[in-house]
Amino acid sequence: MEFLNMILSGTNQGILWGIMALGVYITFRLLDFADLTVEGSFATGGAVAAMLISKNCDPFVACLVALVAGACAGAVTGLLNTKLKIPPILAGILTMTALYTINLLIMGNKSSIAILPTKSMFAIVEGWFKVIPRTYIILIIGLVFSAIVVGVSYWFFGTEIGSSIRATGANEKMCRAQGINTDSTKILGLMISNALVAFSGAFIAQQQGTGNLTMGVGAIVIGLASVVIGETIISSKRNFLARLISIFLGSVIYRLIITIVYYLGLGTEYTKLLTAVIIVIALSLPTLKGKFATNKRTKTASANPTDVTLNDELTDAQIEKEQAQTQVVQSVACETKEEEKNA
């Protein structure tokens, strides 16, 4: 029973941290921007939520305010990079450093603010459904908000503006050639990313019962670990929705690994080392798979040289077919232009 409760607790943590991991995914994968603001904006979300809830503000409203605060932090990083031409990593470090003092001021020059268990959103929802234990309440709320975040993200990044953000990360020079304002897309992408990070920080602060200055330390590594694990399990060649879901799956798996290690008696001082090992293994898996597949093809080619010849012939035939199709398209285009001129 104790082991099951531990697994459930790790799953809850993974889902809530998954929102933060999605924010990291937006900057590192979609925008191709090495943003280190995350560690500061995560603590900003927790600080804003803790301060507002301690002042008897509705916890749901506190989460929304934390989301806006995170977006402002992302906007600062974007402006430093696009307008002042400060490199991405340095821009993120500068914002993160400034946020330490800003978070301290938000919490009234206190290093931490406690959130009474009865004032968190989990306590409020538990009051609505008294039969359901707190652990399952956290799981349900986490799944609901995660589904909303994934759904809205999937819709937004399919729109013209969202596609522009993705295109900026894929090929910035081509986007500029197409008339896209890449400075604006970068700033907007960073705002969305850090808004999600701060939103996650507000949830974590309520779950842990406190918001403090150091709660964002290591957040960027946790986010990257979740992204890498998710991409290892679900290929990046899958559709965009599957990739978004894989981020949460990676976050849950990472948290379960950490939770199980704690359960086995390993101290918390080994967490950073364990995280580094997990990331290295996840990053090296695609390379190892590629080498294994190459060795397998080599052995197959040595055993059946006739099959390799047939495959080469098929490849040549496909190339000739594609060339013929290209010539047809070009000839049709020329005929169309001639008809337009005659008309």
Task: Write the DSSP assignment of 139-155 as a string of letters.
Answer: HHHHHHHHHHHHHHHHH
Q: Cα dihedral sign for 188, 73, 28, 242?
A: negative
Angle of helix 240-263 relative to helix 271-303, nearest 10 degrees, comes to 120
pLDDT at residue 308, rounded to an integer? 46
Position 130 pLDDT exceeds 90: no
Distance CA 269, CA 260 (A): 15
Residue 126's pLDDT band (cuts 50, 70, 90): confident
Residues 108-122 pLDDT 10s: 999 889 988 788 899
Position 310 pLDDT exceeds 50: no
pLDDT at residue 47, rounded to an integer? 94
Largest Cα–Cα separation, the chain: 83
Position 318 pLDDT exceeds 70: no
**Contact in structure between 21 and 247 (CB atoms under 8 Å):** yes
Position 67 pLDDT exceeds 90: yes
Nearest 10 degrees: Cα torsion 180, 186, 187, 193: 130
Nearest to 60 by CA among 131, 144, 186: 144
Q: What is the mean pLDDT of residues 303-316?
A: 52
Q: Which two tokens stand for residue 80?
A: 């430093």
pLDDT at residue 305, rounded to an integer? 56
Cα distances (angstroms) measured from residue 24 to each of 41, 220, 223: 11, 7, 6
Cα distances (angstroms) measured from residue 146 to each of 22, 251, 303: 10, 12, 50
Q: Which two tokens stand for residue 238?
A: 């899958």
Q: Which residues contact 117 (CB under 8 A, 6 or more apart)?
A: 123, 209
Q: Which residues contact 298 (CB under 8 A, 6 or more apart)?
A: none
Task: Decide: residue 42, CB within 10 A, 0-12 exposed, 13-18 middle, 19+ buried.
Answer: buried
Residue 333's pLDDT band (cuts 50, 70, 90): very low
Residue 232's pLDDT band (cuts 50, 70, 90): confident
Q: Which amino acid is at 114?
A: A
pLDDT at residue 324, rounded to an integer? 53
- Residue scoring higher pLDDT (34 or 65): 65
Q: Distance between terminal CA atoms of the chain?
A: 81
pLDDT at residue 260, rounded to an integer? 82
pLDDT at residue 115, rounded to an integer? 87
Distance CA 207, CA 11 (A): 13
- Residue scoring higher pLDDT (272 or 70): 70
Nearest to 252 by CA among 125, 126, 122, 139: 139
